[in-house]
Amino acid sequence: MPLLLALLITASSTLPEVRSGDEVLRAFRADTRIRVVNIWATWCVPCVAEMPQLESVSTSMRGNGVEFIGVSLDDAIPGDRAERKHLVTRFLAGRRIRFRNVYYVGRTSALADRFRFDGTIPITLVFDSTGRELYRNEGAIDAVKFRRKLEDLIKRRTR
């Protein structure tokens, strides 16, 4: 196996593949009370622009029962899957995005149906531990407002 291909496979294997919205929700740790799903892609300008804000909010929420998972839709672009996954992995590493991400390989329309959105990204959805939607933000987040919303949801969950 050529070295470049071996490196691509190794790098992209750290980005788990999911095929459905239900798989995305099952990817959270069992003890997570507030589950944040951000659906994005490297080719989406507002998605790329909001990543540092998402990372900042994610970091500030650690230890509060909140977990973030990004769902990359980069597989929707035709081409070699290993190369696309490598691009996403490089993107995340280059921007020091530490919250967990998965690589969506199912039908994009099925994901949009499951999470009830029109396919426009970015979209950030917040769920409780049972999978009930608590909040949604269509378009890029405002980090200050989003952090406040999560803090409010945390308070409501601990009452």
Domain ranges of the chain: 13-158
Tell me the C-alpha distance between 59 and 62, whole Å: 5
Predicted pLDDT at 11? 38
pLDDT reading at 64 higher than 80: yes
pTM listed for this prediction? 0.89
The helix (H) or strand (E) run that includes residue 88 is: helix 81-94
Tokens 């788990």, located at residue? 16
Name the average pLDDT for the chain.
Answer: 91
Tell me the C-alpha distance between 61 and 83, whole Å: 32
Mean pLDDT of 123-127: 98
Closest by CA position to 111, among listed 158, 75, 152:
75
Domain covering 13-158 in this structure, CATH number:
3.40.30.10
pLDDT digits (tens, 9 = 90+) for 92-116: 999 999 999 999 999 999 999 999 9
Q: pLDDT > 90: what percent of the chain?
A: 87
Mean pLDDT of 77-93: 96
Q: How confident is the model at residue 3 (pLDDT cuts 50, 70, 90)?
A: very low
